[in-house]
Structure 1
Amino acid sequence: MDLFFEDADNPGHRKNKTCTDRDFTQPGSTDTTVQLVISLLLGVSAFFAFCALRPKWKTLYAARKRRFDPSSGVPALPDTFFGWIPALYRVTEQQVLASAGLDAFVFLAFFKMSIRLFGIMFLFAAVVLEPINMHFIDNDKKHRDTDSYMSSVFRTPQSMPFQSGGSAPWTLEDDGPDKDPDRSFDKAMGYLWSYLVFTYFFSMLTMYFMDKETRRVIRVRQDYLGTQLTITDRTFRLSGIPKDLRTEENIKDLVEKLEIGKVESVTLCRNWKELDKLVEERQALLIKLEETWSVYLKQKTVHNPAAYGGNRTNHSRQDHSQDVADEEAGETGPLITGPSTGQLVERRRPQTRIWYGFLNLQSRTTDAVDYYEEKLRRLDEKIREARKRSYDAADLAFVTMDSIAACQMAIQALIDPRPGQLLTKPAPAPSDVVWANTYSSRFQRNTRAWSITIFVAILTVIWLIPVAFLASSLSLCTIKKFFPSFASSLSRHEITRALIQTGLPTAVVSLLNAAVPYLYDYLSYYQGMLSRGDVALSVISKVFFFTFFNFFLVFTLFGTASEIWSVLRESFKDTTTIASTMAAKIQNLSVFYLNFIMLQGLGLFPFRLLEFGSVAMYPIYRMGAKTPRDHAQMVEPPVFTYAFYLPTALLVFILCLVYSVLPGGYLVLLLGVVFFTLGYFTYKYQLLYAMDQPQHATGGAWRIICYRIMLGLVVFQLTMSGVLALKFAYFQATGVLPLLIGTLWYAYEFRHRFEPLTRFISLRSIKRNETGEDPGADAILDEDFSGDEDVAERLRRGSTVDEDREKGLRFVNPSLVVP
């Protein structure tokens, strides 16, 4: 199939271009200016809309702040148009930790570290590397046109279709096989030594920043957890309990015989499936009854004196008024309140249809209020009876000790010599427990975990089909095949063509990145994990795997789905194939990834700040709200889910590393700094003022962040080794190998030295006794926090957000105690 494209040698003339299979799936590769304009239009409009709506819509944009403790230390933001920005900037890390907790602190620490790291890398790339590239890469040989250098450095090689003019300033074809096969010490190729040097420098700089930030996160985490006294900090999870020990008394005796401390309480999980099902049915029935009452009381009333002698006085004497949502109203409060009229009124009773008889083929209508009230009464009786029964014990228990030190000694020790029995792990917060999974056997939980993991892996591979289809359907080759006249029109209009090939692919990838986490979040809750914090960390890993595999490896390493097996087959013959293939193709996608970072940073972060989804859905929810419960839920803060945002940030981090040394990499680094700066302020505002984060993973996301950074370093080093090899600089390419080995060794050391401190509390970090006495001035280290003594003192007194959240809670299935 032929397609016209601009001839670089004769501007204004077009010549034929035959589309290959690869051309069908390569993303667009034209002007970044179009993407910049699109991103700025989206971002600026959303930002100004947020600044205008923020002071007027505090139920959404200050939902968390409105119901938060005033003593939390988080300052109120001014209602001026831009005044909230400097006020938000002045909110310290101490205040973030005190009001939002460890998970928010760790999340924002990653963004701050990335800003500092890529800021330094940008300076070196722009001041040192880019002049070297501009000097050594021959302009005449590369046929540079009159476009700006920003556009030219990111043009794809001539093998790519739909080029607007000229070729890339640096292609992998500039050194052909007719040259010296080894040009490692060729003076004309001396600039490649700078690539080797900066590969080492940027890798070591990344590891230095990560190591320094890891030590700081660990210090803060240890001091934060060591200065508070919650029931979670004193409780450990005991699994693999033998059948002869499955009673509260036996477990208590077993733990106390270890002589590590006294047991305060034991919650042995039992098979509460029947009870949980009844409580779940009751909740659904209660919502139906509330909706029925609300519909009944909203009807227009008619005065009827004859109703005084009727038999429905209890219903007709209900007070009525315009429904006003009461955020504090609980289940036992009145559904709708209002002044009493002192008169009886008539309303049309709501009806419902019930089915009965053989195969439920018969039906009749009945009074809905009476029907649901009677069903609720009978269900309450069943629940009361169910709570009195005894249930079979599971192999899991929550053991609460009298001190944090005793709990940590139990967690970090091996209790039983038999494999798989009496295993100890930190307990989640009581409100974080997924009780439906506690009474499943360990074998069932493992089976579900492996099944979901395998299914997610298969699903990730299946995603190749829609990703390849969407990418190919947005290429001019495909458009030419199905819509030749439209393709010809696009080839004549530069801006329209850029919109199709540049804007749409990045928009499609961004939409998939936003949609897939919802599916993986749904699947992870059925994986058998015992806490919502573990589920949140699992979703982060799954979504990152999807993002990294489909939008990095497939596009760069394989190019198309059809090339996967050929690349893998060649890699078995020659282990350098993967590095060479990645290096050869990664530059072809420079425009795509540059536009992707630009859209994510400049375009979509303001939309996240605006909470566009909540704004768009609010009128729909408002129309559908019937009961005070519905209205109260509308003003509750949205849930901040880290898995929806962290994987994309990690992918951008890896992209910045990979392109940092390549020609034009300073632009990627500059956009990386912009991305993480805007992300830091966006998420800081949402975590402190607008959104809730109910899961409590005690900063466990930092482990995921560090391992993904090390994965990015490996990809970066393999790419640079491949680039050097393709330039026939074999000595420099081999020189990357020690750095790769050093990175893998650092990952091994990280697992043994740092990871345990991100899971447990060291005994020396426990600075307060059970009576809650002041642990001393060294609780929150001055090297981490300085200048905010009030917040530090507040943390020392133990009023952390986690302690406030867990006041009065205990490890008990809510189905046993809920009113």
Structure 2
Amino acid sequence: MIIVRSVINFILQFNNKDHDDDRIYKPHSTRVARYQIIIASTLGLFAFIVFSILRIKYPRIYIANFNQLNFSFHSSSRRNLPKLPTKSLLGWIPIVYKINESQILEHAGLDAVVTMIFFKMCIRILTTCLLFAIIIISPIRYKFTGRVDQDYPDDGNNGTSTVTRHVLYGTDLSDDDKSYQKFLWLYTIFTYIFTFITAYFLFESTNKIINMRQKYLGKQSSITDRTVKISGIPGKLRDEIELIRYIENLNIGEVDSVLIVREWQKLNKLFKIRDKILRKLEESWVEFFHQNGIKSKNELLNTSSSIDPHVGDSFNLPYRDNENDQAAETTSIHSSIVDQISEIVENSLLNSDLLNDSSYKRPTFKKGWFGLFGPQIDSINFYTDKLSVIDSEIKRARNKEYSPTSTAFLTMRTCAQAQMLAQAVLDPKVNHLITSLAPAPHDIRWDNLCLTRQDRNTRIFLVTLFIGLMSILLVYPVKYIANFLNVKSISKIMPKLGEAIKSHKWLKTAITGLLPTYLFTILNIIIPFFYVWISKKQGFSSHSDEELSSVAKNFFYIFVNLFLVFTTFGTASLSDTTKIAYDLAQSLRDLSLFYVDLIILQGLGIFPFKLLLLGNLIRFSTESIFKCKTPRDYLKLYRPPIYNFGLQLPQPILILIITLVYSVVSSKILTAGLIYFIIGYFVSKYQLLYSCVHPPHSTGKVWPLIFRRIILGLFIFQLFMVGTLALQDAFTCATFISPLPLLTLYFLYIFHNQYTPLSMFIALKAIENGEIIQDSQNDMENDATLDERREIGTKYEYPNLVNDLDGPMIALEGQDMVLISPDGQIYKKQQNFYENNDWDF
């Protein structure tokens, strides 16, 4: 026994010797957190002030949904939102704050409301937990330990519990130690309380979303709500008449229309060629106008003011009191420009020898290699002829018969019939006649739907394989970041830096305290874009499915690679399952201040920078100079950026999980998390309403993904608390937590069985009785929801079969595009951003 004690004492002394270097993340009291708050606050305040200035100077960028150059429905639906002041730096804050959920639902749709409910739920959960921490947990903990928080070990005991030390040294527990063991029951109690608080707000938010969703979608009768997607159609039913007869014989309802998707890949290729030719022709026309009196390309747009983002942007049409006068002035200007264009075109076409005519200069180029050799030819005539040839090819291709695929869209007479059909099992054979609710017409990825089953399965396999390999490879940069958490690991890879850190406290604080959080943040900003990109290559049939998949992929990445791997790197023994909770708790405890610094940086520093839309700002700075050559280019340039759930939601979900994990032991992380979500709420609300759009039509289906991942966070929280109590030999307290994971699993079971169907479908009782399909546009616009107004006049039809083969766009007049036909006739057409895949999701 004496020998065993001697060995244990030697081990403890050995560990004590280099403990400062071995600990994963040695806390420098509150110095690092204080520096992080200063740096993050400075960055955030700078970004906020810059945004407030740029919002006034460049409203076409930062109030893009009010942009007169942007007439997409996703932006025009927000035109009735409260208008923001054009001169006050901070006047937008109270206006955005006062916008309620019903206004968000009316103007931005169901997905935007779900996002806001998520942020509000997080604020309510963390506020309640923080109040308990401040009023009850921290005062009691301070009485027994002398510390407000107990999220990392005391410097003197190296993480070894009082009970363990007494056992090792053969001494008895003192009365204070026994009282301390009783104090740990507080952790068990509040593990239950915080679990129930989280579950309560989760289910409360779920009920709110479901009730809102059922009421909102139940009164709709748009074409999307009446349409079902059917996949796995057998060969004998791949005919419109046969499929209609089969469905109606099931006595579910009457089929209104049907579209069987066919292998239209050839048409896709022809339209891609046409788009390239059309762009060249539009560039030629703009150059022609520039050479003949219209010196500025801005004159071809729908406002007389400059739209260069580097110049003072005078756009403020939605905010002027004399709006009618301004509109009249704009119309007058445009009439003169259109008349001038017409005169130039008409006079130039009257000349028989266009190349030799001196009164009207024509753009030319050499047809040979790189435009340096060959005969000089008229570019307008050349590309007009090429456009005519490709249009003839398209017309012939449209009349051909194409092989049907196994996918079809069935539009029923009523919404109730579509809901019943979508939830029905139609065929006893596996993978035959699988039904689901159809995505909105503008949400469909037609190029993916046209793929054969073999092509689609190949894409899925390759993307899955590639993601698996990337997940393994990304462990290495995470490992590299983890090396900067302590001096010993730095000394192994960079000996000179390790020596410098040991001799300079400020350098140690910067390298081991601040640098890992910034490297972590940079990695977390860059990698999600890769998963969004790879999701687009997977072959999903709709943009909404694509987006939901990117949410799942990005969360998997940041949770596994940037949380579990980072946290347990070099410490957790995953081969010994009995030690997982113990090792995880020890790792998380040592990393607590790292996560405090990370959340502070993300909330105070990074979230305000999201307001600046740096990617969009860079795009304006580059494309406006190098790429924008035609009115169509300017339309795309001023289109609002997409608010992508795959980029915006995974990180807040992870931050909530981290905050919940530390909720009992650290009020600092609770405070940092609360600040993060308050700032995130305002930033996301502003972007969803004023500066960004969310075209994917997922009708709130992202909520089940959020719910399941928060439940996962509760499991990690409970596992951490078991390990934390085990570290202090409070095994009885830890044992009493064991029912909580089972209870949490029961919460997940309830959600899956009782709430998931209502999150995906519309209950038949929620559908308003006596629904009537409105035939006129006026009837549809009266008391219609956002989705119904968005889908007026839309059908389930392959766009490349029905879209007009318009000529080049040469100017803009209000909401109309000014186009020119091959014979020189000028005509107008209303903008349609979904035509020819013109909207980039």
Give TM-score, length-normalised by structure 1. 0.83
Q: Report the counterpart of residue 315 of structure 1 in structure 2.
A: none
User: Displacement, 1:476?
Assistant: 4.6
Q: Which residue of 1 aligns with 2:753?
A: 752
Contact 1:241-1:421 at 8 Å conserved across structures: yes
Which position in structure 2 is the counterpart of 1:125? 133
Alignment of 1:470-619 (within 5 A): 470-472=481-483, 476-477=487-488, 480=491, 487-557=498-568, 559-560=569-570, 567-571=573-577, 576-619=578-621
What residue is the counterpart of 1:710 in the other structure? 711
1:205 is matched with: 197
Alpha carbons 2:416, 2:767 under 8 Å: kept:
yes
What secondary structure is seen at the aligned counterpart in 1 of 2:136? helix
Residues 1:630 and 2:637 aligned together: no
**In 2: Cα distance, 1:217 partner to 1:423 partner:** 27
Q: Secondary structure in 1 aligned to 2:164?
A: coil
Matched residues, number: 728
Shift of 1:592: 1.2
Counting aligned pairs with the same residue, the percent is 36
Q: CA deviation at 1:132?
A: 2.0
Q: Distance in 1 between matches of 2:126 and 2:780?
A: 32
Displacement of 1:749 in angstroms is: 2.0
* CA deviations over 1:334-384 (Å, ceiling 9, x no partner): 9x967357895464734255569xxxxx98775544433322221111111
Residue 791 of structure 1: aligned partner: none
**Residue 699 in structure 1 maps to residue 663 in structure 2:** no
Deviations 1:493-537 (A, max 9, x none): 544442333332212222222212211111111222111101100
RMSD: 3.3
1:117 and 1:320 map into 2 onto residues whose CA distance is: 59
Q: Which amino acid aligns with 1:393?
A: P
Aligned counterpart, 1:721:
722
Name the SS for the 1:236 alignment partner: strand
Q: 1:651 aligns with which of 654, 664, 668?
A: 654
Q: Is the 8 A contact 1:137 1:169 kept in 2?
A: no
Do the aligned partners of residues 474 and 726 (structure 1) sit closer, same or farther apart at CA in structure 2, a change above 3 Å counting? closer
Structure 2 counterpart of 1:802, from 783, 787, 806: 787
**SS of alignment partner, residue 725 of structure 2:** helix
Matches within 5 A, 1:420-431: 420-431=431-442
Stretch deviating more after TM superposition (177-186 or 474-483):
177-186
Superposed displacement of residue 453, structure 1: 2.8
Instruction: Read off the aligned partner of 1:221 and give its amino acid letter.
Output: R
Measure how far apart 1:296 and its partner are.
Answer: 4.9
Show the 5 A alignment for 1:3-14: none
CA distance 1:55–1:700, shift in 2 (3 Å): same
In structure 2, C-alpha distance between the alignment counterparts of 1:444 and 1:759, rounded to whole Å: 28
Partner of 1:778: none
Q: Map 1:726-737; keep pairs closer than 5 Å.
A: 726-737=727-738
Partner of 1:225 in structure 2? 217
Which position in structure 2 is the counterpart of 1:251? 243
Superposition deviation, residue 568 in structure 1? 2.4
Partner of 1:82: 90
In the alignment, the residues of structure 1 paired with residue 295 and residue 663 of structure 2 have an alpha-carbon distance, to the nearest angstrom, of 67
- Determine which of 410, 413, 423 is the counterpart of 1:412: 423
**Could you report, residue by residue, the CA deviation over 1:563-591 in whole angstroms, capped at 9, with x for unpaired residues?**
67xx22222xxxx3111110111011111
Classify 1:17/1:106 alpha carbon distance in 2 versus 1 (closer, same or farther; 3 Å).
Answer: same
Query: CA contact under 8 A between 1:271 and 1:393: conserved in structure 2?
Result: yes
- Structure 1 pair 26–468 and aligned structure 2 pair: CA distance change class (3 A): farther
Larger mean Cα displacement after TM superposition, 193-202 or 739-748: 739-748
In 1, distance between residues paired with 2:242 and 2:26? 64
Instruction: Find the residue that maps to 2:737 and give its secondary structure.
Output: helix
Aligned-partner Cα distance in 2 for 1:93–1:728: 48
1:625-665 Cα shifts (integer Å, max 9, x gaps): 11111112221111110111100000000011100011xx1
| Structure 1 residues 651 and 484, CA gap change in structure 2 (3 angstroms) | same
**Counterpart AA for 1:112:** K
Quick one: which amino acid aligns to residue 135 of structure 2?
Answer: V
**1:668-722 superposed Cα distances (whole Å, 9 cap, x missing partner):** 1111111111111111111111111110101011000100010000000011111
Amino acid corresponding to residue 550 of structure 1 in structure 2? N
Aligned to 1:787: none
Identify if the C-alpha distance between structure 1 residues 441 and 178 changes in structure 2 by more than 3 Å, giving closer, same or farther. farther
Code of the residue aligned with 2:43 in structure 1: it is L
Matched residue type, 1:216:
K
Contact 2:284/2:363 (8 A) holds in 1: no
Offset from partner CA, 1:424-465 (integer Å, 9 cap, x none): 100000011111222334465345334423432331221101
Aligned-residue offset at 1:772: 6.3
Q: Deviations over 1:202-222 (max 9, x none)?
A: 001111111111111111001
Q: 3-state SS of the aligned residue for 1:176?
A: helix
Separation (CA, whole Å) in 1 of partners of 2:763 and 2:19: 65
Change (3 A) 1:600 1:289: same
- Equivalent residues of 1:261, 1:401 under 8 A apart: yes
Quickly say closer, same or farther: Cα 1:497–1:287, change in 2 above 3 A. Answer: farther
- Counterpart CA distance in 2 for 1:170 and 1:759 is 51
Matched with 1:267 is 259
Is contact 1:77–1:87 with CA below 8 Å preserved after alignment?
yes
| CA–CA distance in structure 1, aligned partners of residues 471 and 449 of structure 2 | 29
Picking from 473, 479, 492, the partner of 1:462 is 473
Residue 349 of structure 1: aligned partner: 363
Counterpart-to-counterpart distance in 2, 1:403 and 1:667: 54
1:51 match: 52
Q: One-letter code of the match for 2:765?
A: R
Taking the aligned partners of 1:37 and 1:687, their CA distance within structure 2 comes to 29
Distance 1:61 1:412 in 2: 42
Distance 2:429 2:695 in 1: 36
CA contact (8 A) 1:396 1:439 kept: no
* Residue 110, structure 1, aligned to residue 110, structure 2: no
Which residue of 2 is the match for residue 176 of structure 1?
164
CA–CA distance in 2 between the matches of 1:365 and 1:97?
58
Specify which of 364, 375, 387 is matched with residue 386 of structure 2.
375
Three-state SS of the structure 1 residue aligned to 2:590 is: coil
8 Å contact from structure 1 (residues 285, 376) kept in 2: yes
Larger displacement relative to structure 2 (274-283 or 398-407): 274-283
CA distance in 2, matches of 1:544, 1:516: 11
Structure 1 residue 188 displacement after superposition:
3.1
Residue of structure 2 in register with 1:788 after alignment: none
Other structure's SS at 2:228 match: strand
Say whether the 8 Å CA contact 2:220–2:784 is kept in structure 1. yes
Q: Deviations over 1:185-209 (max 9, x none)?
A: 9433111100000001100111111
TM-score for both structures, normalised by structure 2: 0.80
Q: Is the 8 A contact 1:472 1:478 kept in 2?
A: yes
Q: CA deviation at 1:747?
A: 0.9
Q: Cα distance 1:171–1:671, how it changes in 2: closer, same or farther (>3 A)?
A: same
* Letter of the 1:607 counterpart: F
Distance 2:410 2:227 in 1: 5
Displacement of 1:73 after TM fit?
A: 4.5
Q: 2:221, 2:773 within 8 Å by CA — same for their partners in 1?
A: yes
Letter in 1 for 2:421: A
Tell me, yes or no, if the aligned pair for 1:543 and 1:647 is still in contact at 8 Å: yes
Distance in 2 (CA, whole Å) between partners of 1:579 and 1:474 is: 22
Asked whether the equivalents of residues 319 and 337 of structure 1 are also in contact (C-alpha less than 8 Å), the reply is no
Deviations 1:211-235 (A, max 9, x none): 1111111110011100111100000
For 1:386 and 1:694, the matched residues in 2 are separated by 30
